[in-house]
Amino acid sequence: MYLMRIGAPGAEKPVVRVDETHYVDVSDLTPDFDERFFAAGGPALLADRIAGGRPREFAGERIGAPIARPHQILCIGLNYSDHAAETGQAVPDEPILFTKSPNTLVGPYDDVRIPRGATKTDWEVELGIVIGRRTSYLGSVEEARDAIAGYCVVNDVSERAFQMERGGQWSKGKSAETFNPAGPWLVTPDEIGDVTNLGMWLDVNGVRRQTGTTKTMIFDPYVIVHHLSQFMVLEPGDLINTGTPPGVGMGHNPPVWLRPGDVMELGIDGLGAQRQHVVGPR
């Protein structure tokens, strides 16, 4: 199943994608793809409607993030062996955890705004995990499979000067408005052959900057969810950004940073693609 939210910011309605031109409206079954929806059973609640519903045609509606604003956005740093190598840092023994403000979440085609004072704004194509049920103290990595509602494309936009040069936590360089485009779809696990073998890519102004695969993840999605559950309660609808492959701006020599007017395009096999224009500060 491919879950989507369409409509103006703050007024999105939940739908299920049928194909490139059609969807089924499920807004009478659930007001949103939010904590309550996932806690009540999530996509399983929609099966009968999808089987018997009447598809409608897309009519140019804005596509929002595929989930409502979550309780938390959790992020894993240096989680691709080839990305760790390009940054010159050691492969971590345990997942590196940082957080991102939930109000960074925007749609896959919304503008990305460079914050005031930024000088080193960067891109990161990532696999996003959405949690499907309240989860803590999982007994095994295998149990994590049942805690995952689905996967989506995420662009973990980052301001490296804020992140690396201003002290404190990485969150300062990760939490500017619009810094977490997600979607276009939340794809349920049954639609994905092998989440640990998905190609991923990102272009800036038509130039390929990132090419990678989830095969080079150090900690796969199930290890990540199991690990995080030992330290916190994961709520239904929470989003986890799982790290990026090589090719980020700071990994180039010389580094390449985003500027107003740039266009980012990115995607992951089976999960869709995004496109964002970069705009200047407010």
User: What is the pLDDT at residue 34?
Assistant: 98
CB neighbour class for 39 (10 Å; exposed up to 12, middle 13-18, buried from 19)? middle
Cα 173 → chain centroid = 17
**Extents of the domains making up the chain:** 2-64, 73-279
Specify which residues 268 forms β-bridges with. 200, 272
User: What is the pLDDT at residue 5?
Assistant: 98
Name residues of the chain where pLDDT drops below 70: none
Task: Find the angle CA(187)-CA(83)-CA(215) to the nearest 5 degrees.
Answer: 45
Q: Compute the distance between CA of residue 263 and CA of residue 246 in angstroms, rounded to an integer.
A: 19
CATH number of 73-279: 3.90.850.10
CA distances (Å), origin 68, targets 86, 185, 228: 34, 12, 21
Q: Compute the distance between CA of residue 48 and CA of residue 96 in angstroms, rounded to an integer.
A: 41
Nearest residue to 194 via CA among 220, 219, 224: 220
Per-residue pLDDT tens for 30-63? 999 999 999 999 999 999 888 888 899 999 999 9
Verdict on whether the full-model pTM lies above 0.95: yes
User: What is the pLDDT at residue 14?
Assistant: 98
User: What is the pLDDT at residue 59?
Assistant: 96
| Region class of 95: left (phi > 0), else alpha (psi between -120 and 50), else beta | beta
